[in-house]
Amino acid sequence: MSGDASDGDAPAVSDADSRTTPDADSRPLPGEQPGPDERDHPEGRRNLEGIRIDPVVEAEHESRRAVISALVEDEPGVLARVSGLVSRRQFNIESLTVGPTTVDGHSRITMVVEETDPGIDQIEKQMAKLKPVISVGEVAGDAVISELVLLKVEADDPAAVHAVSEMYDGRTVDAGPETITVELTGDKANIDNAIGAFDRFGIVEIARTGPTALARGDTPTAPGEKPGTAGEPTTHDD
């Protein structure tokens, strides 16, 4: 084995020999060194996000709602991968919708999160690392954002239910002697208001999809995405 190290005149072993009765070391021993409070410490600090802060203005980030759109490869488990990753890192997913795109084998995931800016940035970067994620980014502020909700209310006053649903551009999709089911789409505020208005009839059940979104005009929804038609490549990689 270590022939070269321990044979020959290597001082190693004899050195160790000379220490077989160890002397007190000449270097300062742990007990003789200046303690934590005897040392000078810098003034500066960082905040929870690791950002250096001016001691006077302790900047903490406010959280905000962000809509993140990801173009993904449609392979098994991709949804579990994305949601697992985001939740493991303690980011709260408000909603998550998935559906096919114009391209075979690609899906779009639309995720709404409530996070600080560094948190949103981190979610995007973590998602981008996943192999099936082709492209990911926050959807521009003025994007078209819409949600579908199905609402089942008690059918005591069908005319009034109908009136309210007209007010919110809803559509009755099922009506029976006991319940009426209405379908609504719109942005979050519209849907929240509608639910508030239906409340008085007694809401029996509710199913919301969570928002899905597309960027306006020719801005790509996920970064680098090209407007594609069926079968055409849609990304920068292709």
- Asked if 49 interacts with another protein (CB under 8 A), we say yes
- Asked if 84 interacts with another protein (CB under 8 A), we say yes
- Asked if 90 interacts with another protein (CB under 8 A), we say no
Q: Min. distance of Cβ 17 from another protein in angstroms?
A: 5
Cβ atoms of residues 68 and 120 within 8 Å: yes
> Of 60, 63, 64, 75, which one interacts with another protein (CB under 8 A)?
75
Site mask for another protein (CB under 8 A), range 131-170, x = bound: x--x------------------------------------
Q: Tell me the site size for another protein, rule CB under 8 A.
A: 68
Instruction: Give the C-alpha separation, 164 to 154, whole Å.
Output: 13
Instruction: Give the C-alpha separation, 17 to 106, whole Å.
Output: 69
Q: Min. distance of Cβ 9 from another protein in angstroms?
A: 13
SS3 of 154-187: the string is ECCCHHHHHHHHHHCCCEEEEECCCEEEEEEEEC
Q: Min. distance of Cβ 212 from another protein in angstroms?
A: 16
Cβ atoms of residues 235 and 71 within 8 Å: yes
Q: Min. distance of Cβ 193 from another protein in angstroms?
A: 33
SS3 of 34-71: the string is CCHHHCCCCCCEECCCCCEECCCCCCCCCCEEEEEEEE
AA identity, residue 95: S
- Asked if 80 interacts with another protein (CB under 8 A), we say yes
- Asked if 217 interacts with another protein (CB under 8 A), we say no
> Of 8, 9, 15, 159, which one interacts with another protein (CB under 8 A)?
15
CB closer to another protein out of 59 and 189: 59
Q: Which helix (H) or strand (E) holds 72?
A: strand 64-73
- Asked if 193 interacts with another protein (CB under 8 A), we say no
Distances (CA, A) of 230 to 74, 104, 227: 15, 7, 10
CB closer to another protein out of 14 and 193: 14
Identify which of 76, 67, 85 has the alpha carbon closest to the alpha carbon of residue 130.
Answer: 85
- Asked if 88 interacts with another protein (CB under 8 A), we say yes
Residues that bind another protein in the complex, under the rule CB under 8 A: 1-6, 10-13, 15-17, 19-25, 27-31, 33-37, 39, 41-52, 74-81, 84-85, 88, 98, 105, 107, 118, 121-122, 125-126, 128-131, 134, 237
